[in-house]
Each structure stands twice: as structure tokens, then as C-alpha cells.
Amino acid sequence: MYKYVIHGGKPLFGEIEISGAKNAAVGILPAALMVDGVCRIENVPQISDVTLCLEILSGLGAEVRMINKNTVEIDSRHIRNFSVPDDLCRRMRASYYLIGALLGRFGKAQVSLPGGCDFGIRPIDLHIKGFEKLGATVSVRSGFVYANAEEDGLTGAHIYMDQVSVGATMNVMMAAALSKGQTIIETAAKEPHVVDLANFLNTMGAHIMGAGTDVIKIRGVERLHGGTYSIIPDQIEAGTYMACVAAAGGNVLIRNVIPKHMDCITSKLEEMGVEVREDGDNIRIIRKRPLTRTNVNTMPYPGFPTDMQPQITACLCLANGTSRVNEGVWDNRFRYVNEFRRMGAKIQADGKWAVVEGVSQLTGAPLQACDLRAGAAMVVAGLAAKGTTEIGNIHYIERGYDDLVGKLRGVGADITIIACPDEDSVTAAG
Ligand code: UD1
């Protein structure tokens, strides 16, 4: 068990390099199972969700070779196993992508119901409806999803998503890429990682058009071939470091981003009085003045991302005036507010709303991360707070942030990771 110890109140100066996107990687790595050849995937972040994904792929019979710390080669030519064990799936929400990938390539999949961060009911009904539209028989029994299309194979279909879902869009796109005929997905999610998965599959020989818009058209192909692909930079990791600078103050160059992906976050920070300058693949973020209040509504891309909601709320705790935050995607994503209150934040949450009355100073406190982004938001708050903040349950944070401690230390933050006795940390499914 480890925890972060932060001595806060110091502005940040220097440069931070952004890693590959977690939510793209956890889709693209399972998609490598669909390829009848060798995929070389670059810019893979070193995070525990990726380690878990690679462990699952190896368990299914793929040959996984790390070429260097961010490049992996996956050879899925000899897979003979279509069943993914329960203990691995429980630790990662994105394990549902294995259903689309295995179903597309082999016409069958047996995958345990996914785990992941707990912020409300996280159904997969839209994924299942999509697979059924493509002709698969899907059943959920004893905690496993069984999908089968061995008899007639998958056939392209016109699929209307009842709700915008990143996971369902990506999962159905995978299965459809290797089906017969054309699939149209309407009300598709437009997140950057949806586009990245489509680009990966197209590089391997798929025909997917329209990713990044509401309507994605997929012309199924018989097989995918090997190739090389580089994962996009992580929008949420970059946004989290922008929030760190906004909260703690300073002047930091965030390197290797796609500035267009950052627009929804940049414009909110600008409203709060933070200076953001685009410079090619980099973004400079400068905070000199006190922060100003604003309101935030999370929604699917290109709206403000729900995965940045806790981090921006940490900033609003320190802004002049009262801000309102509406969580428009998940039912229960304010479980962290009690931890912020321990730091002196004035924040009330009720269902999908939080009201934040800014204070001039937060005070360090012992905290427990309760999910990935909430944990990251505690780091944001801890960097700005006066005194010492200790954050337990950091296994949540390490699911999605590559070398968070090293990157923050590189811009002058006083953050260390220390071993702590087991009883300090409450464990829960990641
Ligand atoms: C992905 C991200 C997660 C992010 C979320 C929204 C990954 C691995 N995770 O999660 O970090 O917070 O997008 O940007 O990429 N829904 C249904 N039925 C379904 C699927 C979803 O009702 O079958 C609902 C969900 O309850 C939620 C909304 O749709 O209210 C959006 O969920 P979705 O976009 O599917 O989230 P994930 O793909 O699981």
C-alpha cells in the first residue's frame, strides 16, 4: 500500500509531457485481438489499466512483447481462448471491449461483467442491443456476458443509440468492422478516443467513416492485417495538469497535446481567469490572478468532460464567488466532496448538482481517493492547499496517470509516494 504526501501551496513552473490516452489505449489494445497479424502500438501509457489489459490479452493467447516502455507488439494470430476470467474484468470497466473484439474476430465471447469506478449504475444494455442488432445472441448469466454469432456470423445493421455512449459506440464499431455488409451507428459518441479507435482499425484494414460525428458508417471487411499505430495524447491527463496549475498557480508548458481536444477545458479555465496559450502541439498555462467563479455542465464531447468534473471542482473551491456544477453524464459522481470539506472547502452536493462557495485557502488533510478522477482532483486540491495532504487508495489514481509523481515533481511540486501500513488504506474494486 502506498500513499501520496503533498506539501502544498507552491506554484508550479516548467514543462510536463503528456502520455498516450488511457481511454484510447484500453479500447485499442483489446482491438488488437481482432487483427490476424502483428500490431505495433506506440505511445502506450504506463498505467495499471494498460498492464491489466496486456495481462488479459496474454491470458487469451496473444503474444505480447514490450519493445520499449511505451511501445508494444501484439501478435493475435494464434488465439484459441474466448473466455476472459472474472478476477481481471472486475478490475477494469473497459474489459467490455473484449466482447466486441472477440465477437468480431471469432463470432463468440465470454466475458465477465465489467468493474471500474463506481459513480452510479453503469449498465451495458446499449452494447448488448448493438451486438444483437448485428445478429449475435447475447445473454447475461452468473455475472458473465455470453455473446455468440458462430452460426450465421455478424451482419451489418442500422443502429440507433438511445443515449450517447462512448463504450457502446466503440464496442459496436469493433464488432461491425468484421461483419458482413454495412453498419450505420446513429447518435454515436464523438470523443477523441472514438476517433482514435476508428483510425487504428482503419490502419489495420477496416473501412470506418464518420468517426468524430454523430453518424459512423462501417463497411465490414473479412480480416484485419497487422500494422503500426500511435495512440493520441491523453486529453484528461493534460486537463488535470492544467487544473493543477490553475489551482496552485504558476506557469507550465504542457507538451504533446492536441489543442483542439482541449478546447472544452481551455475555455472554462479562461472564464476562471487563467491564461492559456496554444503553441503547436503544446499549451502554456499561466495563473497569476485569483480564480473567478463559473458554472460547469458536463456532457458528451465536445462538451465539458465528466472525467474533468472533480478536477475543475477542486479549482472552483478556490475561486471568488459561488459556482454551480451539474454532472450531466453519471448519477453519482460527487462522492468525493466530503474529502474536500476536510480541507475546508465549502461545497454541497445533491444528486447531480454541487454548489461550491469559493474559499481563499484550503488546508491540507488526510484523504482517501474514491475513484480515479476524484483521486486526481485530491492531488489538484492538495497542491494548492496550505500544509500537508496525504492521499490513500492511490491505486485508483495509478490506473490512469502515467508517472504522476515524477511529472509533478518536475514542475516543482513537493509530492512524494510513500509506503504505508495496509490498515491506512481502504481497498475496493478499481
Ligand atoms: C467512458 C469512459 C469514462 C467516462 C465516460 C463518459 C472509458 C474506459 N471510460 O465510460 O471514463 O466517464 O465514457 O465520458 O472510456 N449508458 C447506458 N447504457 C449503456 C452504456 C452507457 O445507459 O449500455 C449510460 C451510462 O450509465 C452513462 C452514459 O450512458 O450515464 C454514458 O456512459 P458511457 O459513455 O457508455 O461511459 P463508458 O463508455 O462506460
Residue 12 carries which side chain, given as an amino acid letter? L
Q: Which part of the chain is CATH 3.65.10.10?
A: 2-19+233-429, 22-230
Ligand 1 lined by 382 (C-beta under 6 Å): no
pLDDT averaged over every residue in the chain: 94
Ligand 1 lined by 49 (C-beta under 6 Å): no
Residue, of 18 and 88, whose pLDDT is higher: 18
Under CATH, what is the fold of the domain 2-19+233-429? UDP-n-acetylglucosamine1-carboxyvinyl-transferase; Chain (3.65.10)
Ligand 1 atom showing the smallest separation from residue 26 Cα = 8
Sign of CA dihedral 123, 127, 131, 132: positive
Q: Which three cell numbers stand for residue 22?
A: 488511457
* Alpha carbons 48 and 377: distance in angstroms, whole number: 19
For ligand 1, atom 7: residue with the closest CA: 23
* Alpha carbons 309 and 327: distance in angstroms, whole number: 8
Taking the domain 22-230, which CATH number applies?
A: 3.65.10.10
Residue 426 has a pLDDT of: 42
Q: For cell 481502504, name the residue.
A: 426
Give DSSP secondary structure letters for 218-231. Answer: EE--S-B--EEEEP
Residue 284 has a pLDDT of: 98
* Alpha carbons 157 and 160: distance in angstroms, whole number: 10
Ligand 1 lined by 124 (C-beta under 6 Å): yes
pLDDT band for 427, please (50, 70, 90 cuts). Answer: very low
Ligand 1 mean position to 52 CA, how many Å? Answer: 20
pLDDT band for 82, please (50, 70, 90 cuts). Answer: confident
Ligand 1 mean position to 36 CA, how many Å? Answer: 29
Whether the pLDDT of residue 375 is over 60: the answer is yes
Q: For cell 507552491, name the residue.
A: 10
The best mutation among 145, 163, 352 to test binding of ligand 1, ranked by most ligand atoms within 8 Å of the C-beta, falls on 163
